Amino acid sequence: MSEERYFESGGVSIRFLQHGPQGEAPPVVLIHGFTSAAEAWSEVGVVPRLSGGFRTIALDCRGHGKSGKPHDPSAYGMWMVRDVVALLDHLDVEAAHLVGYSMGAEIALRTTVAYPDRVRSLIIGGSGWSEAHEAETYRRVAESLRDHGSIGPAVRWMHAHSPAGPFTPPSDAEIAEMEGYMQSQDLAVLSAVAASMHEIVNLSRDQVAAIGIAVLGITGSEDPERCNLEKLVGVTPGYTLRVIAGKDHGEALLDPQFVDAIADFLA
């Protein structure tokens, strides 16, 4: 059974779900991707796998799920990192393992850099050390949502210009499936989130090289963002990379190897 709770961070209501034992159980904070929500971690099998031995805490990032949804881009960016720390403060948790996917991976990585004492270990999937290319992708997502009500142009650009590619762009049907998840969401809010992400993704080599905890990266071999995880190899001292063969950005998250990698790492 999940426990749904709320707290306030920077004037915005943040919702989170808790599973598993409380008390002395090691806490794991789960940070979802763009357009997703806390429930995703149960749907892909991470919460059922971990909640027997860990206190899992899955939040709705601001702008997503049942958390508050400001329309001003200045309410996002580093505020999404501060929300993670505010969640730990709210729960009187000194430090937690962080797990993030895609946008959530970028938030988790920036949290680790900005607040190293609050992170026990880090697992990032689907994105990582993103820098200028990912900032440009988010800028295009914000612009595309604002001007066209679609992420299609930005996603096609990302596939065509990935440093690890180029990759075959998604078909119209695949784009429509992606956008199906956004039908009930406020596109102006999602545009504001994307417009702020440059504050999070632009990390320097010195910053990622200074990370002093164990870090696991997970990526699909066909993910256009694979390069964001590969380039941490040899830079972040405690870094290990797992590549799921034949899987793209969405498929890797759904593959049983993804959950296995997380459970093995935390064990």
Q: Are 142 and 188 in contact (CB under 8 A)?
A: no
Q: Are 240 and 216 in contact (CB under 8 A)?
A: yes
Give dist(CA 212, CA 182) in Å, integer.
37
pTM: 0.95
Question: pLDDT value at position 1?
Answer: 61
User: pLDDT for 154-186, tens place per residue?
Assistant: 888 888 888 877 888 888 888 888 888 787 899
The mean pLDDT of 220-226, rounded to a whole number, is 93
The phi, psi pair for 99, rounded to 5°, reads -130, 125
Question: pLDDT value at position 177?
Answer: 82
DSSP assigned state of 151: S
Strands (E), the chain: 3-9, 12-19, 27-31, 55-59, 96-101, 119-125, 215-220, 239-244
Give dist(CA 7, CA 93) in Å, integer.
14
What does the longest C-alpha to C-alpha distance in the chain come to? 49
Q: Are 29 and 115 in contact (CB under 8 A)?
A: no
176 against 232, higher pLDDT:
232
97 against 149, higher pLDDT:
97
User: pLDDT for 52-98, tens place per residue?
Assistant: 999 999 999 999 999 999 999 999 999 999 999 999 999 999 999 99
Question: pLDDT value at position 105?
Answer: 98
User: pLDDT for 25-61, tens place per residue?
Assistant: 999 999 999 999 999 999 999 999 999 999 999 999 9
Question: Strand, coil or helix: what is 3?
Answer: strand
Residue 18 has pLDDT above 90, yes or no: yes
Question: pLDDT value at position 170?
Answer: 83
User: pLDDT for 103-141, tens place per residue?
Assistant: 999 999 999 999 999 999 999 999 999 888 889 999 999
Look up the CATH number of domain 3-131+204-266: 3.40.50.1820
Residue 199 has pLDDT above 90, yes or no: yes
Q: Are 230 and 204 in contact (CB under 8 A)?
A: no
Give dist(CA 187, CA 66) in Å, integer.
15
